[in-house]
């Protein structure tokens, strides 16, 4: 992962995980705010969520991802809905 960005002021508060710099036109993964950990005990206990601050957790790490690749505005992307879709490759 070479670049990450948490767009907290954008609709849906997406976290972008970019595999190329510059990122425009290249593959990326997206984690929506609703799929991040919230700190709410009931939600986080029963609904698996991504680790806190995925924008820093995955940055500069080699990761594997799986999921359906869609094309949005000419760029390939996977929307990560579940933490099992991304893992650290050591």
Per-residue model confidence as pLDDT tens for the chain (90 residues): 899 999 999 999 999 999 998 888 999 999 998 887 766 665 555 566 788 889 999 999 999 999 999 999 999 999 998 888 999 998
Residue 57: per-residue pLDDT: 92
Q: Is the dihedral of CA 25, 11, 52, 67 positive or negative?
A: negative
Residue 42: per-residue pLDDT: 55
Residue 15: per-residue pLDDT: 95
Residue 51 DSSP one-character state: P
Residue 49: per-residue pLDDT: 76
Residue 88: per-residue pLDDT: 93
| Span 11-22, pLDDT tens digits | 999 999 999 988
Q: What are phi and psi of 41, to 5 degrees?
A: -55, -40
CB neighbourhood size of 1 (10 A): 20
């Amino acid at each position: 992962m070479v670049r990450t960005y948490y767009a907290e002021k954008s609709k849906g508060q997406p976290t972008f995980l970019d595999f190329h710099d510059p990122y425009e036109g290249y593959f990326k993964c997206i984690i929506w705010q609703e799929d991040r950990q919230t700190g709410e005990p009931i939600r986080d206990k029963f609904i698996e969520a991504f680790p806190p601050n995925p924008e820093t957790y995955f940055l500069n790490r080699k990761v594997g991802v799986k999921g359906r690749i869609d094309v949005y505005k000419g760029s390939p992307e996977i929307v990560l809905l579940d933490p099992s879709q991304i893992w650290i490759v050591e």
